Amino acid sequence: MVYTIAGKDVPAFRAQGDGTVTRQSLQLALPVLKPLYAQLAEHLRGGMVREDWWWEHLALASNWDAALYQDDAGLVRGYLLYERSGNTLTVQEWYAADQTAWTHLMAFLLKHGNTFATLEFADQDSRYRGDWFPNPYVLKAAAEPFMMARIVDLQDFFNRYPYTGQLADPVTLAVTDDTLPANQGVWRLSVAGAEKIGDDPAAEADISLSIQVLTKALFGTQPLAALVKSGRADGDQDAVARLDRVLHHELPMLNDYF
């Protein structure tokens, strides 16, 4: 989700609590950013593990700066990665460990409304954040397609999936995958795990759907019940409800750049 606001429409905003925000190039900020990001990524939906070489690539391939928030004890508790291009300042990444860090970084961003005609924030989270501002009409929000998730090995994915509970009764899925035949067929999910019990995706099963639709359900993009209701999948109502109860329903994010 990309948010845009004109510099003239930036509202008054004051940071809360103590601390300071300092600015430096991304390259110089890497020694501080690497351990902070590694700590934050453990709690992100879709947090990516970044090797040292990838950080170096980001610094060399971009013209980004880093704004680092330090609390009154000198600990870095949040940061912005941003780019200045002409009359536009674009925030590419924003992490804050607590409310104080968030407000200081927001104050840092908004004060640039005096020097840039446009402020942008490219948010990996697709949920709408217009309520950040008292007058949401001054904020433009646009959903931009970014990355596509693809389950390559369905058997391995089922075995690794972090179900939120145990299935009350087994559920069978008839999955079509025109690209990877190994994923295609009838799968049986139960407390014992997942097993493929047939190769014909047209065979009778509790739920019938494509690998693309199954990915939406397993990744938490949309509930399985909503996908069936909209006609993108077919299934027995009770079986759909049983499976939905043990799936994650948090929207996924991909926090990286390719």
pTM: 0.77
Which residues are CB-neighbours of 36 under 8 A, at least 6 positions away? 76, 79, 95
pLDDT higher than 70, residue 46: no
First-last CA distance in the chain = 17
pLDDT over 70, % of the chain: 97
**Cβ-count burial 147-167 (b if 16+ within 10 Å, e if not):** eeeebeebeeebeeeeeeeeb
- Per-residue pLDDT tens digits for 163-209: 999 998 999 999 999 999 999 999 999 998 999 999 999 999 999 99
Instruction: Check if 2-142 and 154-245 are the same fold.
Output: no
- Fold classification of 154-245 is Nonspecific Lipid-transfer Protein; Chain A (3.30.1050)
Give the start-end residues of each E strand in 86-178.
88-96, 118-122, 139-142, 171-176
The position carrying tokens 């942008």 is: 120
- Per-residue pLDDT tens digits for 202-243: 999 999 999 999 999 999 889 999 999 999 999 999 999 999
pLDDT higher than 70, residue 126: yes
Every domain of the chain and the residues it spans:
2-142, 154-245
- Per-residue pLDDT tens digits for 139-166: 999 988 877 888 999 999 999 999 999 9
Q: Rounded mean pLDDT of the chain?
A: 92
Q: Is the Cβ–Cβ distance between 187 and 194 less than 8 Å?
A: yes
Q: Is the Cβ–Cβ distance between 68 and 21 less than 8 Å?
A: yes
CATH number at 2-142: 3.40.630.30
